[in-house]
Amino acid sequence: MGILGKISDTARAIGGKRDRTEPTTAIIVASGNSTRMGAGVSKQLLLLDSIPVVARAIMAFDECEFISEIIVVAKQEEFYLYQEFQKLYKFKKLVRLVSGGKTRQESVRNGFSAISKGTRFVAIHDGARCLITPSQIEAVCREAYKHDCATAATRAVDSIKVSSGKNLYIESSANRNHVWMAQTPQVFKTEIYELALKKADADHLEVTDDNSLVENLGVPIKLVECGRSNIKITTPDDIPLALAILRSREETL
C-alpha cells in the first residue's frame, strides 16, 4: 500500500469505526487513439517519471479500499503490456482486460458488461487522468453512496465565454460561480448507469462524458471538488505540468 493509502487508513483509525463501503468496480478507459498527443504512442503508455501514465492511474484505484475490482478497457494489441504492468506493479484488483470500441461510449459499455455480479457502483475513469489519488477516489465514492451518483470536478477559475459556429465571437458570458470542470472518476449506482445506457440507445445519444448519459435520464449528480491537479494527459504540454505536480506532492510528504 502506498503512502496515500496509509494516510487514509490512519485518518479512519483516528476517527473510529471504518465507514461502510459498497461493492464498487473501477472501469479505467485506456483505448483512445491519442491524436492530440502526436507522439506515435498511446498517451496512456507515455512514461511519467519512469512509470506509464495508465499504470499510475491503476495504482491509485488499486490502493483505494473503496474499490473492489478494476477493469481496464484497452486496445487488444496492448493487452500484453497490462499483463506486464500487473506483474511489475503487483496490482491486486486488476481482474479483467476488455477490448475498447469505436467510441469512448462503446468502450465504457464494453467495460460495464464485464463487471462482476453484485457490483453496486461503477467508478468510470480516464486512463490518461493519472494524478488522481486514493483519497480523491474515496471522496467521490462516499458521495455516490449517499446520492447514487457523484463526479470528480473542480470549480472554474477563469471567466467563461460562450461562442457557437466558426466565427469565434463571444455570444454570452457564463457565471463562473456556477461553472464546474468535469473530471473523473464518475461514480454511478449500477442500475442507474445501465438505464442511462439503454436510454442513450433509444435516443441515439453519443457522448464523451458519462455524466451526460446520466443527466439524460434526469438523475442528479453530486459534484465533488477534487482540485486542479487532477489533470488529464492530452497534449505534450501536459507532461511537464504533471511532473511539476508530482514534485510538489513529494515535497509536501
What pLDDT shows up at residue 3? 43
What pLDDT shows up at residue 165? 76
Q: Which domain holds residue 144?
A: 3-252
Which three three-digit cell numbers place residue 92?
Answer: 491486486
Rounded to the nearest angstrom, the gap between the alpha carbon of residue 20 and the centroid of all alpha carbons in its chain is: 22
Q: What is the mean pLDDT of residues 43-61?
A: 95
Residue 199 has pLDDT above 60, yes or no: yes
Which three three-digit cell numbers place residue 69?
Answer: 475490482
Q: What is the mean pLDDT of residues 64-91?
A: 97
Residue 65 has pLDDT above 70, yes or no: yes
What pLDDT shows up at residue 19? 65
What pLDDT shows up at residue 189? 98
Residue 40's pLDDT band (cuts 50, 70, 90): low
What pLDDT shows up at residue 20? 78
pLDDT in tens, 9-23: 443 443 334 467 999
What share of the chain in percent tops pLDDT 90? Answer: 82
Q: What is the mean pLDDT of residues 109-130?
A: 98
Q: What is the mean pLDDT of the chain?
A: 90
| Number of domains composing the chain | 1
What share of the chain in percent tops pLDDT 70? Answer: 89
pLDDT in tens, 221-244: 999 999 999 999 998 889 999 999
CATH number of residue 226's parent domain? 3.90.550.10
What pLDDT shows up at residue 13? 41
